[in-house]
Amino acid sequence: MSEFVAKADGSNWESEVLKSTGLVMVDFWAVWCGPCQMVAPIVDELAKEYQGKLKVMKLNTDDAPEVAGQYQIMSIPSIVFFRGGQVVEKIVGARPKQQFKQVIDGLLAQSATA
């Protein structure tokens, strides 16, 4: 995890994700998941690029299965975007960085006009 990515778990989920005012991107992952390892450096790059515009967190599904279950995370990696405590977008599986950027840019544009 980079300095721009925070760890999410059951203890800080509500304060860091649900009560956050801006856009929050949560990477649901696990150590044993190959595609999760492929996405990890992309998540770190996005966190750095969108610093100040987007909060980026990683949640290890093995450490916090109750949180993953709450959002019906059946496949990982799952990248879930939250705004105002609500899920606004979900990307399942490894994707190229550009695809993540399109989603993030679209969500940031929505919040600018909202």
We report the CATH number of the domain holding residue 16 as: 3.40.30.10
- The pTM assigned to this predicted structure is 0.95
**Three-state secondary structure call for residue 4:** coil
Residue 114: pLDDT band (50, 70, 90) is low
Q: For 83-96, what is the mean pLDDT?
A: 96
Q: Which residues, in sequence order, are CB contacts of 9 under 8 Å at separation 6+?
A: 59, 60, 63, 64, 67
Catalytic residues: 33, 36
Number of domains in the chain: 1
Question: Which range of residues forms the domain containing residue 92?
Answer: 5-113
Looking at residue 2, its pLDDT comes to 74
Model confidence band, residue 3 (pLDDT cutoffs 50, 70, 90): confident
